[in-house]
Structure 1
């Protein structure tokens, strides 16, 4: 068996990065931590520990409960996608995302689904003063995030049953009871009919979003994009002229995938 070499501390360590990684190790090994625990372990002021935790929460690596205890967030347990096709996708559609963000004056995100999770590959942040921030790297439940919902809507019933009714769903804590699963199936049918999904404060208080699929030239959904906004502006995005801009962007993204490695049937199958 090949042995890993002894890991030596880098000659020029970056203290803030090392502290963030040590916090991740603490949550992994201890389950829950408090700001005072983190400050003591790292030998830093509570204010510094709070800033570090705030960034980990922002990126989805930690979550805070009502008693101000922190535990591992969904991004910490997310497995690697293990393929470079997402880079091809991002490079191809990012110019269209930038144009859409400038035209609609809201933050736009590119999302893929991995199992029951929606992963944010990139964000184009709006320049509007009151806006939704960068969500790059975030991991959210697919059945709550608009970009995850719209991808689940294209899945056959058998796949939804596997994701939310199977043995792995029970072990992973994602299993739905009969009533909730029936609601999910009905919601997916409604999303397919209208062509987009809505998230009204289902993942974050005060935030709404509209999710639309990114289709390959062969017509298969490979990813999605969401337009995220403070919830008070969400209904404005549902106006026909706003939706028309989003659907036009969807078509432009499909055109941008032509001639790439994603321009063939069966590519980048989603789990």
Structure 2
């Protein structure tokens, strides 16, 4: 059989091509330094640094304590749970839409990769003042509602191990994080009042997979000016009912 080679597009953009090559290198080969990347793709170190900085900005790469670059949350999610995340999102969307219709607030579904939380599905409400879609965004897990829910499912020694590595970026205070996770475990839900974004309140509950472990966090977000403390029981009950319906679909 004749072997066919892919021809480059007629209007190839060198910087885009180089960024994609770097992302593939990181995913297939592991951590690389700026000088190694520059040598491999044939560019100046300053150019390699700019390309890596953009990959870091878009969460395709992260820089570790040794100043080498490795795959970031986007590529980790693609490598380890792409099909699972896709199926989870597809199963969740109808339930998210019904929950938005019920509460008239924006709703999100989030998964955890390491110490980060990624929003894999968002449905906005129709109100003029609302929390916008977070789909595709990545935040430190300890700063988000669903991230706290997912961290709370881990044994304490795994949480300590997860945050033992000194990496760039804001790290949680260990004592405060332990207290936060203990509170989530006791209540079975998480309340986030301006933790990840000022002026936003979010409430979330866990979603369990067919085998029992928690696979995602389901949360509702609203402007803080619209949140009242007496709403909390209703919000939690609605979230739990939706999570239960989604879990039934996942088992089916």
Same fold (TM over 0.5): yes
Deviations 1:60-94 (A, max 9, x none): x79xxxxxxxxx53634324212311111111121
Q: CA deviation at 1:247?
A: 1.0
Please say if 1:257 is aligned against 2:241.
Answer: no
Question: Closer, same or farther in 2 for the Cα pair 1:91/1:237, shift >3 Å?
Answer: farther
Please say if 1:183 is aligned against 2:176.
Answer: yes
Name which of 21, 29, 38 aligns with 2:49: 29
**Contact 1:150–1:211 at 8 Å: present in 2 too?**
yes
Please say if 1:109 is aligned against 2:108.
Answer: yes
Equivalent runs, 1:106-185 vs 2, <5 Å: 106-165=105-164, 169-173=165-169, 176=172, 180-185=173-178
Q: CA deviation at 1:228?
A: 1.1
Question: Closer, same or farther in 2 for the Cα pair 1:11/1:110, shift >3 Å?
Answer: same
For 1:75, the equivalent position in structure 2 comes to: 59
Please say if 1:206 is aligned against 2:202.
Answer: no
Looking at structure 2, the residues matched to 27 and 243 of structure 1 have their Cα atoms a distance apart, in angstroms, of: 49
Looking at structure 1, the residues matched to 239 and 125 of structure 2 have their Cα atoms a distance apart, in angstroms, of: 15
For 1:227, the equivalent position in structure 2 comes to: 220
Q: TM-score, normalised by structure 2?
A: 0.71
Looking at structure 2, the residues matched to 27 and 245 of structure 1 have their Cα atoms a distance apart, in angstroms, of: 50
Runs of 4+ that moved beyond 6 A: 25-28
Q: CA deviation at 1:110?
A: 0.9
Deviations 1:175-202 (A, max 9, x none): 55xxx21111111011011111122112
Question: Closer, same or farther in 2 for the Cα pair 1:241/1:75, shift >3 Å?
Answer: same
**Contact 1:93–1:257 at 8 Å: present in 2 too?**
no
For 2:34, the equivalent position in structure 1 comes to: none
**Contact 2:205–2:236 at 8 Å: present in 1 too?**
no
**Contact 1:143–1:149 at 8 Å: present in 2 too?**
yes
Gaps spanning 5+ residues in structure 1: where?
34-60, 63-71, 260-271
RMSD of equivalent CA atoms? 3.2
Q: CA deviation at 1:155?
A: 0.6
Q: CA deviation at 1:225?
A: 1.4
3-state SS of paired residue (1:121): strand
